Amino acid sequence: MNIAVWLKSLGLEQYVPVFDDNAIDAEILPRLTAEDLKEIGVGALGHRKRILEAIAAMEGQPEVVSARPASASPMSASVERFGEPGRPREAERRQLTVMFVDLVGSTALARRLDPEEMRDLLRQFQNTTAGEVLRFEGHVAKLMGDGALAYFGWPQAHEDEAERAVRAALAVVSAVNGLSVKGGQQLSVRVGIATGVVVVGDLIGIGSAQENAVVGETPNLAARLQAIAEPGTVVISELTYRLIGNLF
């Protein structure tokens, strides 16, 4: 994993020298806490949150908790957006905008590339996608190799979730289009977005396989729209379209 590329995907390239000076590599990255980031000079709270959330998205974890005790200052010891550790959220009914992202041609790429090269490519794709979703304050629900699932409207809600989702999707399309693989081939994604009422927050699965489920037609619709999208395009549902109006 290239730390400089990862930070750039988050819009935080100004911290590349800081990470280099402190010998933070892909092995150390998942162990960083909010206090660590503050100590090395990531002064802005928003930047620390963005980095920690991107780390959680890479690791498939629902939360990132500072290593400091609960009595410490909220600035240095906080649970990032997802509530207290070990306390599952109660399921709730709410309107959600769901985004599915698929890396185009990944099967052919896997046949052509060395496994390590493919691993690095997928990491770039995942880091780039997660970075753009987080930039628009969405929630990266799952990274699935050559795919990603994101929610806008849970666990944190905004009035303009549909607009945020579309802007994030367009940013993902542009950012991934800027990536390339061995041989100079340009990468592209297809994205599907749908908005609707769901039940969200139920824990399903066992042990480390537990995840917060979203139940309803909306995720299925977003997946179908993603499947029919042309490479490099975003397809949105009728309700999403009505919500964003003439913004695009």
Whether omega before 155 lies within 30 degrees of 0, making that bond cis, reads yes
Q: How far apart are CA 72 and CA 84, in angstroms?
A: 15
Q: Identify the architecture of domain 1-85 in CATH.
A: Orthogonal Bundle (1.10)
Write down the pTM of the prediction.
0.64
> Where along the chain do its domains lie?
1-85, 92-244
245 Cβ contact list (under 8 Å, min separation 6): none
CATH of 92-244, one of 3.40.50.2000, 3.30.70.1230, 3.30.565.10, 3.30.70.60: 3.30.70.1230
**Beta-strand (E) ranges in the chain?**
92-103, 139-143, 147-152, 189-204, 211-215, 233-236
pLDDT single digits (tens) 59-107: 543 333 333 333 333 322 223 333 444 445 567 888 999 999 999 999 8
Residues of the chain short of pLDDT 50, as ranges, are 60-87, 208
Q: Which pLDDT score is estimated for 49?
A: 86
Q: Which pLDDT score is estimated for 101?
A: 97
Q: Which pLDDT score is estimated for 204?
A: 57
Q: Which pLDDT score is estimated for 162?
A: 96
Q: Which pLDDT score is estimated for 1?
A: 64
Look up residue 216 and give its DSSP letter: S
Q: Which pLDDT score is estimated for 46?
A: 85
